[in-house]
């Protein structure tokens, strides 16, 4: 199982100011790490760097001791990102969004269909499977994106504010599923504003204006 480490990383966008400064953290298999902090603190930036989407200005992100080169390299290492804006194809159905991702990941079509049905069911979306994403509610779309991320069974799962539009029942369901992923052996990172959600995670990293402090390890 994968171990993700961030070592003295600083990031800026283009020539802009530094938005993360000297951040170091280790994400261990079997754990859920909450990344907390106010809006603009740098949570998404940190997750994008962990996903191989952003290149650090200084420092390094490594997976199993190997410096992460780019997004393709991260995908090879089974680093899955559930983005804040859900990243779904709006004119495909909920089920098609999962199947396309699974088939692209090398899963045979019949198996992809089974995995899709099971995962949508876990998220309470069995009756929405054949609905177009653009016709789903915001919370249903968010749960579809979570289902897609879970169905891929990554070694590292990066979930960016994925419970922001969910009611209490669904929020708890998603938290339980993220902890199930950790029990399966995945290293899970969960960015959230919500202190209650963060308190339910084993480890917590708190960002303040781009600097990180470990709350629980």
For binding to ligand ATP (CB under 6 A), which residues are involved?
A: 13, 16, 19, 37, 39-45
Structure tokens at 199: 């308190």
Between 41 and 205, CB nearer to ligand ATP: 41
Please state the closest distance from residue 43 (CB atom) to ligand ATP, in A. 3
Between 112 and 205, CB nearer to ligand ATP: 205
Between 12 and 131, CB nearer to ligand ATP: 12
CA dihedral 87, 156, 37, 123 (to 10 degrees): 60
Please state the closest distance from residue 158 (CB atom) to ligand ATP, in A. 12
Between 42 and 149, CB nearer to ligand ATP: 42
Sequence-distant contacts of 144-147: CB under 8 A, at least 24 apart: 144/86, 144/88, 144/94, 144/97, 144/98, 144/120, 145/82, 145/83, 145/86, 145/87, 145/88, 146/82, 146/174, 146/177, 147/94, 147/98, 147/119, 147/120, 147/122, 147/123
Please state the closest distance from residue 92 (CB atom) to ligand ATP, in A. 26
Between 39 and 127, CB nearer to ligand ATP: 39
Q: For residues 191 and 135, what is the distance between their CA atoms, to the nearest angstrom?
A: 27
Please state the closest distance from residue 192 (CB atom) to ligand ATP, in A. 9
Please state the closest distance from residue 216 (CB atom) to ligand ATP, in A. 19
């Amino acid at each position: 199982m994968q171990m993700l480490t961030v070592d003295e990383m600083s990031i800026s966008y283009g020539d802009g100011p530094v938005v993360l400064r000297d951040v170091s953290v280790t994400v261990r298999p079997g754990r859920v790490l909450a990344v907390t902090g106010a809006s603009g603190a740098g949570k998404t930036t940190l997750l994008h760097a962990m996903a191989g989407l952003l290149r650090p200005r200084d420092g390094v992100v490594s997976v199993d001791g190997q410096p992460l080169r780019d997004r393709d390299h991260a995908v090879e290492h089974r680093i899955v990102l559930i983005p804040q804006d859900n990243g779904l194809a709006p004119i495909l159905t909920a089920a098609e969004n999962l199947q396309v991702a699974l088939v692209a990941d090398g899963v045979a079509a019949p198996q992809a269909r089974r995995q899709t049905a099971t995962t949508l069911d876990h998220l309470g979306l069995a009756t929405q499977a054949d609905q177009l994403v653009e016709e789903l509610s915001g919370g249903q779309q968010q749960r579809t994106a979570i289902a897609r991320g879970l169905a891929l069974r990554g070694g590292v799962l990066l979930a960016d504010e994925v419970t922001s539009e969910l009611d209490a029942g669904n929020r708890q369901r998603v938290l339980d599923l993220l902890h199930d992923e950790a029990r399966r052996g995945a290293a899970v990172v969960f960015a959230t504003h919500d202190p209650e959600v963060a308190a339910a995670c084993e480890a917590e990293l708190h960002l303040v204006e781009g600097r990180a402090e470990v709350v629980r390890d």
